[in-house]
Amino acid sequence: MNPLRARCSGYIAASLDGFIARPDGSIDWLSMVERPGEDYGYKRFFDSIDTLLVGRKTYEVALGFGSWPYGGKRVVILAHRPRPSRHGEEFFAGDLAPLVERISAEGAKHVYVDGGSVLSQSLSAGVLDDLTVSLVPILLGAGVRLTQNVARDVRLQLVACRSFESGLVQLHYRAPGNGDRSPSRGLGNGQ
Amino acid sequence: MNPLRARCSGYIAASLDGFIARPDGSIDWLSMVERPGEDYGYKRFFDSIDTLLVGRKTYEVALGFGSWPYGGKRVVILAHRPRPSRHGEEFFAGDLAPLVERISAEGAKHVYVDGGSVLSQSLSAGVLDDLTVSLVPILLGAGVRLTQNVARDVRLQLVACRSFESGLVQLHYRAPGNGDRSPSRGLGNGQ
């Protein structure tokens, strides 16, 4: 991995059958693992990052929150069309690899790749360095998939695995990043 | 759960993104977790069951093996059309719940629901009692899904979680079975 490039991390919840949302985008089922005072390490992770790359859909959900959830961080929204910035967020359309290079040159050290679509783009572009998946003990049967049109196999290295009282299992993997991998085949059509 | 009904167990490997095979059905990627002398508990599980319910596709793969892999067990193949039995296997077309009742009455105590399609049918029919998923540290991006047209959410209870040197994480869940569940909505179209 290029030591000058910011580390890119994914941090996402999924059902046991690999869905991150229902077909209509809803994530109501996450409430089954909500416990008072338990955030499954999210705050610590969030404190460790300085920059977020956020997909358009995730951005729209965030805009609907009472308060802007990304305060104090640099936020780049991946969207085909820029919009008026409401909270200092920037807009970007294009390939992820050069974007990560640019924000690294501008000072980013640790980037949160937030949302299923951007996560898959980062896997296809080979820029993801690690991935934390919080596996919720439910089978949804249908929905928005954890990976979407990833162009090739991504072999991961298990770093840690922890189970919680709620039945949530948190898996932490190292992803190939821009290290030992074959060249990207670009964004294919998947299946 | 009806104490007279055989216990029905699923035991299956999946990629982290919820696929059990590539789009063409191949499972070559399982070799990444193969280790000499390590079967991840499969033999012990297989020894504990007396009956298998096998989907047509899984059956065809099994027929291609050098030797019949289900020796010493009662085997029922779920297929729309019966075929000549080669190894004493029976054929069945119909709903899973009455089949499980019938084989229970005929003496089955522990049934292995083998193959993705039959697993999903057993979830929809509410007859699955437990599920072991061996999560392989790979993202495939596309393929045959762990769940296929399951008609409703299936909430699971985590019983055990174990990680291996290879990066495989084996998750053991209790499924609602025919105990505390709402009536089946039958096989829907999913997404």
User: What ipTM score was computed for the predicted complex, to two decimals?
Assistant: 0.89
Q: What is the CATH topology of the domain spanning A7-21+37-174? A: Dihydrofolate Reductase, subunit A (3.40.430)
Residue B152 is encoded by which pair of tokens?
Answer: 């409703």
Q: Indicate the class that CATH gives domain B7-26+36-174.
A: alpha beta
pLDDT, one tens digit per residue, over B126-137 is 999 999 999 999
The answer to whether the Cβ–Cβ distance between A161 and B163 falls below 8 Å is yes
Q: Where are the alpha helices (DSSP H) in B25-75?
A: 42-48, 56-63
A154: closest chain B residue by CA: B139
User: What is the reported pLDDT for B102?
Assistant: 97
Q: A32 and chain B: CB distance < 8 Å anywhere?
A: yes
Residue B117 is encoded by which pair of tokens?
Answer: 């399609």
Question: What is the Cα–Cα distance from A123 to A133, expressed in whole angstroms?
Answer: 14
Surface of A (128-187) touching B: CB under 8 A:
133, 135, 137-143, 145-158, 161, 163, 167-169, 171, 173
Contact yes or no for B126/B153 (Cβ under 8 A): no
Q: A12 and chain B: CB distance < 8 Å anywhere?
A: no
Instruction: Report the share of chain A in percent with pLDDT over 70.
Output: 92
How far from B95 is each of A7, A139, B92, CA to CA, in Å?
51, 21, 9
User: Across the beta sheet with B157-163, what order do the strands follow?
Assistant: B90-92, B74-78, B51-55, B110-114, B7-15, B130-136, B169-174, B157-163
Q: B40 and chain A: CB distance < 8 Å anywhere?
A: no
The answer to whether the Cβ–Cβ distance between B14 and A14 falls below 8 Å is no
For chains A and B, what is the number of CB pairs under 8 angstroms?
A: 136
CB < 8 Å to B168, chain A: 158
The answer to whether the Cβ–Cβ distance between B139 and A147 falls below 8 Å is yes
pTM of the model: 0.90
Backbone angles phi, psi at A105, to 5 degrees: -60, -30
Contact yes or no for B29/B17 (Cβ under 8 A): no
Question: What is the Cα–Cα distance from B121 to A26, expressed in whole angstroms?
Answer: 25
Mapped onto helix, strand or coil, the DSSP state of residue B53 is strand
As a whole number, the mean pLDDT across chain B is 90
The domain locations on chain B are: 7-26+36-174
Residue B1 pLDDT class (50, 70, 90 cuts):
low
Question: pLDDT below 50 — which residues of chain A?
Answer: 180-191
Q: Could you tell me which of B142, B24, B15, B119 has the C-alpha nearest to residue A14? A: B15
The answer to whether the Cβ–Cβ distance between A147 and B140 falls below 8 Å is yes
CA distance A83 to chain B (A): 31
User: What is the reported pLDDT for A1?
Assistant: 58
Question: What is the Cα–Cα distance from A167 to A159, expressed in whole angstroms?
Answer: 20
Q: Could you tell me which of A188, A73, A55, A70 has the C-alpha nearest to residue A125? A: A188
User: What is the reported pLDDT for B176?
Assistant: 85
